Amino acid sequence: MSEPTQPAPDESPGQPDGDELPRPPGPDGLPVFGNVHTLADDAFAFYERLSSEYGGVARYDVFGTEAYLLTDPEAVRRVLVDDHGRYVKGAMPQEQLGSLLGEGLFLAEGEQWRGQRDAVRSAFFRERIEAYGDSMVNHARATADGWDDGEIVDVHEAATDYAFAVLAESLLGDDVDAARGTARAAAESITERFDTSRLSSFLPDWVPTPTRRRYHRRIDALRGTIRDLVAERRAAGPAATPADADDLLGTLVAAAEIGAIDEDELVDNAVTFLFAGHETSALGLTYTLYCLAGQPAVQDRVRTEVAALDGGVTPSVVRDCPTLTAAVDEALRLYPPVHTFFREPTEPVTLGGYRIPAGVVLNLSPWTVHHDEQWWDDPGCYRPDRWLRETADGTVRGDDTAGPAVGQRPEYAYFPFGGGPRHCIGMRFARQELRLATATLLRRFELDRVTEALSLQASANTRPAEPVRLRVRARER
Ligand code: HEM
């Protein structure tokens, strides 16, 4: 895709950021609108063109807001890892998601963010994630039980119901039934509110459209339900420490009891987990199943691997299934559920040899980097084998951080879960869930594509614009 940009000057964090460095190049835009017309037309194509024509740090403009697309993996690493202290999430995600996620983990900054991350981290330790495995498998079995031999299913709809059920149960444990109605209604309203095919989605948040009113009503109802559940947990006696709790809400209540988070943070985080964690996982499962349905030979290989699991499908055994793991990782490369996310430098910085002012929008785009020919051979092709390599004794192994180009591809040529201290806290949860659900479904069904070409929309996540239809054929049990 892009030619390497000009050699970067010394960018060590201690160096002053030189005013003499050039500003990044980019296309001309229209007065007032900037580049918004081409961006709205097809955001994925716009980002890929920007990167191939202008290199790893490219400038664009959205309604007068100065924005920079970062697709140089080295620059991405500097922002997320080496120099993360010089960046905040900034105004863009706050405007889009602030009314929903409040000051929960996804949007909090500085000390408030650190306190929250420390308070909930025990809920994402390996043992705790493994304990959610039964729920992940049971809900996948329930999905399979609902499918008839030969039926055409909308796999995006099925994956959304599945991921929502798993997350709601992990968050709320036995209280899930009490909250199912309000949580489901809120989830539907959020999808509607951010639907980019509706022009009203682009209006400022204060414009009271019927969709907006419904959205705010339902979010308020969900918050009310969560507050009631919190009161019940307190009455029943919360866990002594966050690490002793059985579910995410229990972790949050225990964290509030010891003063690690306050009451508003508790509710904001319950909402954050519910919504940061279910659509992304649903999309990951949708694209994994869709990709496998398009490649019967790969699908057969994954099935052979998981059909041989004598002890059934469990978190520890699926972790050791290299073809299954590669099938999931490759789907997250080709169709990263989070296509872009944002940062804002709090001071002038140097990236890729260019000067970037404070306060601008930096757009980090897994989508564009995952489709860059500099790092990926035939990037538009679904090829799980690129994640597998032969070992000396001839067995094939999965390797999460390296494919055939071990050591040649930069680390941040692949970052579906972000990176650095603010990487996705649910990554292990999501990867386990995707493996368990894919394994469970493939043991029961063969998948064929009915929808051949995916049409995608770049809303908050990488969503299918149309139903994704697969025909499911039951296997002998
Ligand atoms: C395939 C599924 C998923 C994908 C692709 C994904 C992707 C991401 C990405 C790219 C970020 C970083 C955003 C940034 O740096 O601005 C992130 C953060 C986050 N994710 Fe996920 N995610 C997934 C599943 C989950 C799940 C299952 C949960 C919860 C159970 C979750 C909760 C969060 C939270 C709370 C953050 C903010 C972390 C922080 O700032 O400290 N995600 N996710």
- The better pLDDT of the pair 237, 342 is held by 342
CA of 277 to the centre of ligand 1 (A): 7
Q: Is 210 within the bounds of a domain? A: yes
Burial 443-468 (b: 16+ CB within 10 A, else e): bbbbbebebeebebbbbbbbbbeeeb
Average pLDDT for residues 326-354, to the nearest whole number? 96
CA of 427 to the centre of ligand 1 (A): 7
Q: Is 416 in the pocket of ligand 1 (CB under 6 A)?
A: yes
Q: Give the range of the structural domain holding residue 14, as residue numbers without chain letter.
A: 1-92+339-375
Q: Is 430 in the pocket of ligand 1 (CB under 6 A)?
A: yes
The CATH number of the domain where 76 resides is what?
3.30.43.20
Lowest mean pLDDT of 82-96, 388-402, 404-418, 456-470, name the range. Answer: 388-402
Average pLDDT, whole number, for the chain?
86
The CATH number of the domain where 394 resides is what?
1.10.630.10
Please tell me the residue having the least CA distance from ligand 1 atom 1: 281
- Whether 71 contacts 2, CB under 8 Å: yes
156-187: pLDDT as tens digits: 999 999 999 999 888 888 777 777 788 888 87
DSSP state of 78: I
Q: Say yes or no: 276 and 183 in one domain.
A: yes
Please tell me the residue having the least CA distance from ligand 1 atom 16: 341
Q: Say yes or no: 149 and 262 in one domain.
A: yes
In the chain, the number of structural domains is 2
Q: Is 136 in the pocket of ligand 1 (CB under 6 A)?
A: no
Q: Say yes or no: 352 and 209 in one domain.
A: no
* Packed helices 263-293 and 155-172: angle between N→C axes, nearest 10 degrees: 150
Q: Is 24 within the bounds of a domain? A: yes
Q: Could you tell me the pLDDT band of residue 395, with boundaries at 50, 70 and 90?
A: low
Question: d(Cα 170, Cα 133) in Å, to the nearest integer?
Answer: 10
Q: Say yes or no: 168 and 53 in one domain.
A: no
Q: Is 262 within the bounds of a domain? A: yes
Q: Report the relative pairing of strands 65-70 and 456-458 from DSSP bridges.
A: unpaired
Opening angle at CA 133, ends 247 and 461, nearest 5: 80
CA of 113 to the centre of ligand 1 (A): 14
DSSP state of 81: I
Q: How many CA atoms lie within 13 A of 237 on its CB side?
A: 1
**Confidence at residue 333, expressed as pLDDT on a 0 to 100 scale:** 97
Question: d(Cα 472, Cα 149) in Å, to the nearest integer?
Answer: 6
Give the distance from CA 342 to its chain's centroid.
13
Q: Is 5 within the bounds of a domain? A: yes
Q: Is 97 within the bounds of a domain? A: no
What ligand 1 atom has the least distance to the C-alpha of 421?
41
Q: Say yes or no: 16 and 147 in one domain.
A: no
For a ligand 1 pocket test, name from 424, 425, 429, 436 the mutation site with the most ligand atoms within 8 angstroms of its C-beta. 424
**For residue 12, is pLDDT > 90?**
no
Q: Say yes or no: 398 and 353 in one domain.
A: no
* Helices vs. strands in the chain: H and E counts, helices first: 17, 14
Q: Say yes or no: 365 and 290 in one domain.
A: no
101-159: pLDDT as tens digits: 889 999 999 999 999 999 999 999 999 999 999 999 999 999 999 999 999 999 999 99
Q: Say yes or no: 370 and 306 in one domain.
A: no
- Cβ contacts of residue 398 below 8 Å, gap of 6+? 321, 322, 323, 325, 326, 329, 387, 388
CA of 305 to the centre of ligand 1 (A): 29
Question: d(Cα 381, Cα 334) in Å, to the nearest integer?
Answer: 8
